[in-house]
Amino acid sequence: MFSFTKEQEILDISGIKIGGQPGLYPTVLFGGLFFKGEPDFDSGKKQLQNMLDLSKKTGNPAIPDFFIRKEDYVEDIINFIEKTVPKNHPFSIDIIEPSLKVKTLEYLDEKKLLSRTIYNSIHVGIKDEERKALKKHTPEMAIIVAFNPRDKSPDGKIEVLQNGANLTDTGLLDIAKKLGIKKILVDTAAMAPGDNSGASIAAIPVIKEEYGLPTGCAIHNVVEKSKWLDNFKSARKPVDASSNINIPLFGGDFAIFGPMIHADMVFPIIAWQDILISEYTENYFGIVPDDSHPRRKLF
Amino acid sequence: MENEYYPWGGEFTVCSPNGCVAVVILNVNYSPFDKVAIYGPLKTENIGIEKIVANVISNPHIRYIVVCGDDIRGHRSGSSLVALNKNGIDEQHRIIDAPGAIPYIENLNNEAIDRFRKQIEIVNLIGVNNKSDIDKAIEDCIVKSPSSFGEPYIAIRITPEAAIILDDKRALHSKIVMNYMGKVKKRGE
């Protein structure tokens, strides 16, 4: 459990606070909505409502993370967001294909949703067309993934943020700022098991002390990629959900915890962890938790 | 001993040590018959490809890689592997003309890439999901019965070894220090 010397930025998106000293604000939880093939919006709506209810109960802010994998679904998914995500509630969009990123940004702008959008994500693979689209249709907030294929250690992650590690013309933080993105979250890029996966956790306090930016990761990806866990079928979900406790424990601010259907398990686990951390950080560092903190809700 | 040929551990299945075919499985539910040398999934267009390269050039009997199934959306790792074999990498270590998001080869030297391009012929079945079609393509390779490429090339060896290194007493990380209560500050400040 840590406290940082560097001043910590607290970012606000539609009333949700992310960042700061550990123990001040609850860990923000991004739950993913994946659609296999044709989007099943009825199921999506139920999952979203369940996650928002859990957020209300625990105090941990919930941000739905929408995966868009096909051009045909861009408009449908954004229309669903507009209709179903509560007004003024933030959401993130997670897209891999560069051309889809452009189309999605354009449509979000058309729908006037960019002020609630968290762009997931900017990384060293950023292309010119993506830069142009981001400059023209700038989202309120973006996640920068500190993935460095040359060096997966915390140093390598800092290198891509700072100078692009010769993979981009300049550091990723600089790129985001030049594009006009003012609110930046850093994702420490969780790797596969056996590939320095622990570095994404170790990098959290390093990056927070270096930049003071809200930092987190999708540590559950490590569990998801494990084949070894197939030997323990009933343990997979609890291991996946509980892997997220490492993030607040190492001073992190947000967890991209995977499929929204895991919310039932993840929210109470993280709320509990936030309480544990807050009890220490208040006693030793004088960090009095915000009113929204799980410690205020559950005790 | 059979894994001696494969210096970079991963989620692959080893079959016939003298087989001439490695099978890369993209987005398809398929397992090849056991006359192939090795098979396994490919997910990422960087580290995933590096592992494949390291683990095929270390077995000189492997002369073909059959890449099958729908490509991985966004990552386009199958097409990036094909591009590596066809074009190599540029000075930035980027796979030339690879369509993937972050197609960089960072853990292998140029010699290893050259060896891969010379040793291996790719059978591009990206988009093919039918078991009998894939089986047939593998059989066609096996029938050619190509000769071994010579000596194994070990580009990288990642083997677990228990060790405790006590001469480095930095707390947490070289950039930061922490006092006994958990207060973090930059080292040297």
Angstroms from A273 CA to nearest CA on chain B: 17
Whether pLDDT at B171 is above 80: no
Mean pLDDT of chain B, nearest integer:
89
Q: Which tokens in the block code for residue B133?
A: 């079609």
Q: Dump pLDDT digits (tens) for A116-170.
A: 999 999 999 999 999 999 999 999 999 999 999 988 899 999 999 999 998 999 9
Nearest CA in chain A to B178: A2
Q: Please answer yes or no on whether B47 and A195 come within 8 Å at the CB atom.
A: yes
Query: Cα–Cα distance between A170 and A156 in angstroms, integer?
Result: 14
Whether pLDDT at B125 is above 90: yes
Chain B contact for A149 (CB, 8 A cutoff)? yes
Whether pLDDT at B166 is above 80: no
Whether pLDDT at B90 is above 70: yes
Angstroms from B181 CA to nearest CA on chain A: 8
What pLDDT is recorded for position B1?
39
Q: Dump pLDDT digits (tens) for B32-77.
A: 999 999 999 998 899 999 999 999 999 999 999 999 999 998 889 9
Three-state SS at B66? strand
Q: Which tokens in the block code for residue A156?
A: 């390598």
A89-102 mean pLDDT: 93
B121-137 mean pLDDT: 96
Strands in B57-170 per DSSP E: 64-69, 121-126
What pLDDT is recorded for position B164?
60
- What are the residues facing A216 on neighbouring strands? A187, A254
Contact list, A279 vs chain B (CB under 8 Å) = none
Q: Which tokens in the block code for residue A249?
A: 């424990």
Nearest CA in chain B to A203: B173
Angstroms from A18 CA to nearest CA on chain B: 20
Q: Which tokens in the block code for residue A259?
A: 């499929």
* Residue positions counted in chain A: 299
Cβ neighbourhood burial of A269 (10 Å; 0-12, 13-18, 19+)? buried
Nearest CA in chain B to A158: B175
Q: Which residue has the higher pLDDT, B171 or A224?
A: A224
Question: Which among A3, A194, A225 is the nearest to B9, CB-wise?
Answer: A194
Chain B contact for A283 (CB, 8 A cutoff)? no
Query: Cα–Cα distance between A264 and A268 in angstroms, integer?
Result: 7
What pLDDT is recorded for position B101?
86
What pLDDT is recorded for position B176?
83
Size of interface A-B (CB pairs under 8 A): 87
Q: Which residue has the higher pLDDT, B177 or B163?
A: B177
Report phi then psi at A89, rounded to 5: -85, 135
Amino acid at B40: G
Give me the CATH code for the A10-298 domain, please: 3.20.20.20
Nearest CA in chain B to A6: B185
Q: Which of A71, A96, A226 to probe the B interface (max B CBs under 10 A)?
A: A96
Domain limits, chain B: 2-144
